[in-house]
């Protein structure tokens, strides 16, 4: 099965997509940036009308604003249903981890947040995802513009075969970020905690960096576009433990300014780095078909210490998957 971001050179694909974007109204403008922010409290009223109780985090003293509000999400590849009845809220400037066994739909779900599944022929989404109160899949919303606002970092670092500087500047240019490019590049590299390591070799190829540095370069490229959200699909899967810790620390810093959703198969990583965790499982399986859903969602500490669902407990204690 082809998986976006693995078998396809995503950089090239992105580039193609981005090129189509130049004439479109930016997503920010289309949305007006005056979101109706719903808190956990408001959502409670919705439960009676959804067929499934919204798997949401328990109300904190001050409920964080909601970045994505997912209701009855179903996602299909052709006639195979990959996701079923997902109901979840992703919170503003928090780190949300998506965990679960291989093939349960984690990457598929993540790609729903920036409409990257639109690039897969035959892929179809039903249900609703509100992004800051606005329907992400409304007909007037341009998916290319969405991908600029909701950035993505992939499992395998994918710098372009260009200089470090050009990689980061690309991120800014595709989103029409105005200003002094040297400053923009420096700021993004500093935000990605890479500046000190590369400031004297900005003209060298991004591909000459170590794996961990390449991944931070890709994060810098994403940051240069000034997104609101960063999606990360197993960003440390190809990195050694030290480079992994570096990325985890970086995520913690970035979380002050960005909403981060991370897919990870590393449960220790989810426990270390995230505020909220969504546990996914394959719930229906027959010949060549598997459908996944979020079976439990909550504050990370609670989910890892007192899971409500037996299947979560089995998974996190290593008895499953
Ligand atoms: N581009 C695609 N086209 C068709 N099926 C896909 C595609 N990507 C993933 N799938 C299928 O969707 C299911 C979920 O896959 P995925 O989201 O990659 O799971 P995970 O990230 O949890 O390992 C799997 O059965 C997979 O084969
Ligand atoms: Mg995956």
Question: Looking at the predicted structure, is the pLDDT value of residue 122 above 80?
Answer: yes
Question: Which atom, in ligand 1's list, is nearest to the CA of 78?
Answer: 4
Region 111-117: mean pLDDT is: 96
Q: Which residue has the tokens 């997509």?
A: 17
Q: At what angle do helices 181-191 and 211-224 cross, to 10 degrees?
A: 130
Helix ranges, 192-274 (H): 195-198, 211-224, 241-254, 267-273
Question: Looking at the predicted structure, is the pLDDT value of residue 244 above 50?
Answer: yes
Question: Which atom, in ligand 1's list, is nearest to the CA of 108?
Answer: 17
Domain membership of residue 209 (yes or no) is yes
The reported pLDDT for the residue numbered 42 is: 34
Domain membership of residue 4 (yes or no) is no
Range of the domain at 255: 15-41+59-316
Distance of alpha carbon 118 from alpha carbon 143, whole angstroms: 8
The reported pLDDT for the residue numbered 287 is: 80
Q: Is the CB of 120 under 6 A from ligand 1?
A: yes
Question: Looking at the predicted structure, is the pLDDT value of residue 285 above 70?
Answer: yes
Domain membership of residue 6 (yes or no) is no
Domain membership of residue 284 (yes or no) is yes
The reported pLDDT for the residue numbered 60 is: 54
Test site for ligand 1: of 8, 103, 154, most ligand atoms within 8 A of the Cβ: 103
Domain membership of residue 8 (yes or no) is no
- Tell me: the pLDDT tens digits for 42-62? 333 333 333 344 555 555 556
Region 257-262: mean pLDDT is: 97
Domain membership of residue 54 (yes or no) is no
Number of structural domains the chain divides into: 1
Domain membership of residue 1 (yes or no) is no
Name the more confident of 33 and 133.
Answer: 133
Question: Looking at the predicted structure, is the pLDDT value of residue 305 above 60?
Answer: yes
Region 222-245: mean pLDDT is: 96
User: For residue 24, what pLDDT band results from cuts at 50, 70 and 90?
Assistant: very low
Question: Looking at the predicted structure, is the pLDDT value of residue 138 above 80?
Answer: yes
Region 136-144: mean pLDDT is: 95
CATH code at 280? 3.40.50.300
> The sheet that has 229-233: what strands, in order across it?
134-135, 123-131, 66-77, 80-91, 289-299, 276-286, 95-99, 259-263, 229-233, 150-153
> What percent of the chain lies above the pLDDT cut of 70?
80
Domain membership of residue 321 (yes or no) is no
The reported pLDDT for the residue numbered 66 is: 97
Ligand 2 centroid from CA 313, angstroms: 21
**C-alpha distances out from residue 105 to 75, 112, 166, 276, 277, Å:** 10, 11, 34, 18, 15
The reported pLDDT for the residue numbered 286 is: 81
> What percent of the chain lies above the pLDDT cut of 90?
74
Region 267-286: mean pLDDT is: 94
H/E stretch holding 277 reads strand 276-286
The reported pLDDT for the residue numbered 58 is: 53
Contact 21, 54 (CB under 8 A): no
Q: Is the CB of 90 under 6 A from ligand 1?
A: no
Test site for ligand 1: of 74, 80, 82, most ligand atoms within 8 A of the Cβ: 82
Residue 190 CB: number of other CB atoms within 10 A?
A: 14
């Amino acid at each position: 099965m082809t998986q976006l971001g693995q078998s396809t050179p995503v950089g090239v694909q992105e580039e193609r997509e981005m090129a189509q974007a130049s004439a479109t109204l930016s997503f920010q403008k289309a949305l007006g940036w005056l979101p109706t922010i719903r808190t956990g409290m408001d959502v409670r009223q919705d439960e009676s009308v959804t067929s499934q109780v919204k798997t949401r985090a328990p109300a904190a003293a001050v409920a964080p604003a909601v970045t994505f509000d997912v209701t009855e999400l179903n996602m299909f590849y052709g006639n195979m249903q990959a996701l079923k009845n997902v109901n979840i809220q992703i919170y503003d400037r928090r780190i949300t981890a998506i965990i679960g066994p291989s093939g349960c739909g984690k990457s598929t779900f993540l790609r729903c947040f920036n409409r990257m599944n639109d690039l897969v022929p035959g892929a179809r989404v039903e249900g609703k995802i509100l992004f800051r109160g606005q329907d992400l899949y409304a007909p007037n919303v341009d998916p290319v513009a969405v991908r600029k606002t909701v950035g993505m970092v992939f499992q395998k670092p994918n710098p372009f075969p260009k200089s470090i500087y050009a990689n980061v500047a690309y991120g800014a240019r595709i989103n029409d970020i105005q200003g002094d490019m040297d400053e923009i590049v420096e700021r993004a590299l500093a935000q990605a905690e890479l500046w000190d390591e590369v400031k004297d070799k900005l003209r060298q190829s991004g591909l000459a960096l170590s794996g961990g540095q390449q991944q931070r370069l890709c994060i810098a490229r994403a940051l240069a576009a000034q997104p609101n959200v960063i999606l990360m699909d197993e960003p440390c899967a190809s990195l050694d433990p030290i480079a992994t810790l570096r990325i985890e620390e970086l995520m913690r810093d970035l979380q002050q300014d960005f909403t981060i959703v991370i897919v990870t198969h590393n449960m220790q990583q989810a426990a270390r780095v995230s505020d909220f965790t969504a546990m996914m499982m394959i719930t229906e399986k027959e010949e060549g078909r598997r459908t996944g859903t979020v079976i439990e969602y909550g504050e990370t500490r609670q989910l890892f210490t007192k899971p409500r669902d037996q299947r979560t407990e089995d998974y996190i204690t290593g008895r499953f998957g």
